[in-house]
Structure formats: C-alpha cells, structure tokens
Amino acid sequence: MTYIKPLPQPNADTKPFWDGCFEHQLRFQKCRDCEHVRWPPSVICPLCYSPNTDWIVASGKGIVYTFVVHHYAYNKAFEDELPYITAIIELEEGPHILSNIVDCHPSELKCDVPVSIVWDDITEEFSLPKFILSA
Ligand SMILES: [Zn+2]
C-alpha cells in the first residue's frame, strides 16, 4: 500500500535523528559541556552555545505534556484515522517531542499520563516514533 501522508525531509541536522528512527532508536543531541539534551537538532547548544555534541539514545518513555484530538482532517490522507490524537510528549531525558498517541480512545487520555514509544514503519526508508499509554 502506498503511503500518502507527508514524509520527513531530513537535512544535515536531522538526518541522525531519522537514521535512528529507521533503526527504532530515538536519538537526541546531548551537549558535552552542560549535558543539556536538545530537540530539535542544532549545530550548537541553545543553553551554553557549545558546538561539542554527542548523540544519545533516549528511553522512549515520558508523559503526555499536552494533546489535541483531531476530528477534522486538514489533509485528506488523515481522513481514515479520525479521530486521532496529536500530543507533545515530555521525555524522561528532557526534550518535548510532537507525535501521535495511538491505540488509545481519546476519552482515555489526559495530561501527565505515562507513555511509551512504538514504531510505525511507514515506508522502506522511514519509521515514525509514536506513543502508547504505558501499562
Ligand atoms: Zn550546553
């Protein structure tokens, strides 16, 4: 089946993140000088401006910071999934990432509940990080 939703557009900064997703690893940059874990990727640390960076693999665990339930598809490719949930996940390592909560009825969801990562292999080149309610 052809994937018709918008695809990621990796650039020099985000390619390590998308390569990690393909390997089912959620990767973030961590500043070697102040240890800030950042998202989105950038050339320098937004806190201390250091260019010294390592990539770490995050646990994939966090909590729902906030969310919205979509009842209208702004892109026709999403019509079959209505209603669907877009959320900002506050990860254990610190970054807030925008994703979807899947396998969850909107009435089950509230802020601050724990979630865990699942991978959606959308094409032969991309996997998307999504989240489910933790058991
Ligand atoms: Zn720093």
pLDDT digits (tens, 9 = 90+) for 107-124: 999 999 999 999 999 999
Amino acid at residue number 43? V
Q: What is the pTM of this model?
A: 0.94
Q: State the distance from the centre of ligand 1 to the C-alpha of 1, rounded, in angstroms.
A: 43
| Ligand 1 centroid – CA 17 distance (Å) | 19
User: What pLDDT is recorded for position 32?
Assistant: 98
Cα(6)–Cα(104) distance, integer angstroms: 23
For 71-80, what is the mean pLDDT? 94
Provide long-range contacts, Cβ within 8 A and 24+ apart, for 32-40: 36/94, 37/93, 37/94, 37/95, 38/95, 39/95, 39/96, 39/97, 40/13, 40/14
Q: How far away, in angstroms, is 114 Cα from ligand 1 center?
A: 28
Is a pLDDT exceeding 90 seen at residue 31?
A: yes
Distance 59 CA to ligand 1 centre (A): 21
Q: φ and ψ at 106, to 5 degrees?
A: -55, -30
Tell me the CA–centroid distance for residue 32 and ligand 1, in Å. Answer: 7
